[in-house]
Structures are given as structure tokens and as C-alpha cells.
Structure 1
């Protein structure tokens, strides 16, 4: 199978609706799978657009999915701090070659959390205001969960559980 065909199939991949992360209204579902994994799902109505969020907290990594008006998977990016100077490296794992919508969000998430980030995002590339609003809501939630670094560079990670 050609790489382009695989890329097209994966960009059209749709995520199934999980009853525990149904996104109805502005509900928030948090489920601790085990001591090291926590799943949080929520939906926001921003600028007349419905955004679905899913955050999966792993021991030293965060997986985030942002869906815009649908449950399509979108582009997939991975970001992490690099050594020795703690710069951030981001790469597109699926799609994302012609736009950098999710790439910039992933870069800033790594800088703000200090953790490795995998981000799937299907925000339209011609909507910078929507992208900024989605990132703001995501960071607000991550701050409430205790994943945003303090000014002194320390990271506050709370115990798994509902937030």
C-alpha cells in the first residue's frame, strides 16, 4: 500500500463514540483506568463550533485528541524536549505535511507541561482563532488537572482521579 493511500485512509479514520466519553453537552468524564492511566473527555462549544477533547494521561506522556464538529481522528503529531538545551522537537506522524495546526499546539504543550505529547487534531487549517481557542481550553483543563509547569519550572502532577 502506498504511503499516500495509507495517509488518506488514516486521515479519514473516525473514532467510535464511547459511552464514557460521549461529549454530550459540556459534560466531563474522567476515568482512572489504573494507577498510571487517566482518561478525561469533555466537549466545548467555541465560536459556534463544537470541539471534543480527550486527554489520556500516561506516566510521563500525555495523549490529546481534539475533534472539530466531528469525531474524525485528524493529523497526528508527537512532541518532546530534546537534549542538551531542552528545545522542543515536533514531528508529524500522520498527515500534517501542508499545515501545522496541530504541530504548533503540540510544541506549546511540551513547553508548558514538560512532558512528551502525542496530539491528534482535526481543526481546519484556515481557522487560527478556533485553534487558539481550542488550545486555551485545553491548557485550562490541563492546568486544573495539575499538568502545567509552575513558574519555577516544577511540574505539579496530582494523583489520578476525577477533576
Structure 2
């Protein structure tokens, strides 16, 4: 009887964890640091103003295509330093609602990289991206055209 239960449980696990499984995609998506965003599901603002639909789609596409460089480690208590850095760069703010949770991305564009601060629940993570387009975006939405 134990052998039969073990075989059945093993078969179910193999089916759920096989590469084409939607379950695998869902589990991986839960832990993805730099997720792919759907432009229809997000709002993008710059300096308190919403981007037009065309600008939002373009910005989201380039955000999705950006190359991940490295993750910054945030020590407990230092979250505010990443959420409100001492810089004169105005961030693009991406708001996303996943289920009941709000996820905010603060995108800071510099000449040589793009810093992203992701805030969800009470957690804050930060990482760096490389994207020619996002790095060239000027401090006004004219850079999106």
C-alpha cells in the first residue's frame, strides 16, 4: 500500500512540476525579482503625471526587455534610503495590482544603468538594469517620444 501511495504522489509531483506546466510558471513568477509587466495592468507616472497610453506601452516594453545586472542587498532599517534616495533624479513610478497586493516600482534612470526599487507589502528590494532606451530617457516625458 505504501508503494502505491508513493508512486501516485510521485506521478502527481512529476505532472505538476514538468517544464510546460502552468504550475511551474506560476511558482517561478511568484519569486521573480524582475517580472515581465503587462502594460494594460499597470499605471506609469512621472513627476505625478500619468504617461499617455502609447508612452506607457513603450516604457513597459523597454522595462521588460531590460537586462538584469545585479541585486542590491538592503539591510533591515535601511529601506527608506532606497525608497527616498538623496538624488536629483526623478523616478518613473510603476503601480501594479496583483490580486489584493499593490506593487510599486520606482525606476531611476542614470547614464550607465537604471536602478529599480520594488516595494510590495512591507518589503523593499532593489536591483540594477541595463537598457539603452531607459538610460537615455530624459527627465521629461519628451524622452519617451
TM-score (norm 1): 0.28
TM-score (norm 2): 0.30
**Structure number with higher helix proportion:** 2
